[in-house]
Chains A and B, each alone.
Chain A
Amino acid sequence: MTPHIRIQAEDFDAAAELTALRPGAGALASFIGLVRDDNGLTALTIEHYAAMTQKEIVRIAAEAASRWPLTGLTIIHRIGRLEPGAQIVLVAVAAAHRGEAFAACEFLMDYLKINAPFWKQEEFGAVTRWVEARSTDDDAAARWKK
């Protein structure tokens, strides 16, 4: 099983990505993260450590594949300036059964949130501020400790 991992500025077609995961699968589970339209946000800019993000997401994907029997896995994370309502991230997992599909999908998002080197900067007109990491993300990831 070769995970498909892409870091890109362009938008993605979630339906097409899920369709591509169908061969050999009995269950598909997915998550899409969107830019929330909060408090007059005008844009969200996502920065990343290019040399490390691919490597880190590959590592997270390999961890998921070692814990659950998966037939396929796709992770797409966008970078650059995104407007409210835009898609940010897709995690899609294919497996024989729903148990592992749901679990792996949630695990991948929880680990991506605390490990993948991206940083979000919110723009409210002329004002910009960095999003702060949340301890609830660490708590969510800690649930998966073996």
Chain B
Amino acid sequence: MRLLYFAGLRQKIGKSEETLDLPPRSVAELIAHLKTRGPGYVAAFADETRLRAAINQDYAALDAMIAPDDEVAFFPPVTGG
């Protein structure tokens, strides 16, 4: 699955994207897995209330399922407009 990180999340993790070979799982399960990958990830995903996720460019809830070929993006609450 292709993972994208934006804004403050990208700064904490230190990369804007990565591709991981993972079986299908929920957004919540993916976050739990990412937190094991290092302190940058722990900091980025520390506050799940300030976190948004999208699967294939559609907003996704924590219990949404991700397929292995999906694009998943994580980002802080948006501030456009």
Contact = CB atoms under 8 A, between A and B. Distances in A.
A124 interface: no
Given A52-B54, A55-B57, A133-B76, A47 B7 contact: yes
Given A49-B54, A119-B7, A133 B79 contact: yes
Contact of A117 (B6, B8, B71): B6
Given A55-B57, A130-B8, A118 B76 contact: no
Bin chain A's interface residue count. Answer: 20 to 34
B47 to A, nearest CB: 12
A51 B57 contact: yes
Contacts of A77: 80-81
Nearest to B8: A130
B56 to A, nearest CB: 9
A1 interface: no
Given A51-B57, A52-B73, A117-B54, A46 B7 contact: no
Interface of B: 4, 6-8, 54, 57-59, 71, 73, 75-81
23 contacts: A46-B80, A49-B4, A51-B71, A52-B57, A52-B73, A55-B57, A56-B57, A89-B80, A89-B81, A115-B59, A116-B80, A117-B6, A117-B75, A118-B79, A118-B80, A118-B81, A119-B76, A119-B80, A120-B79, A121-B7, A132-B79, A133-B78, A133-B79
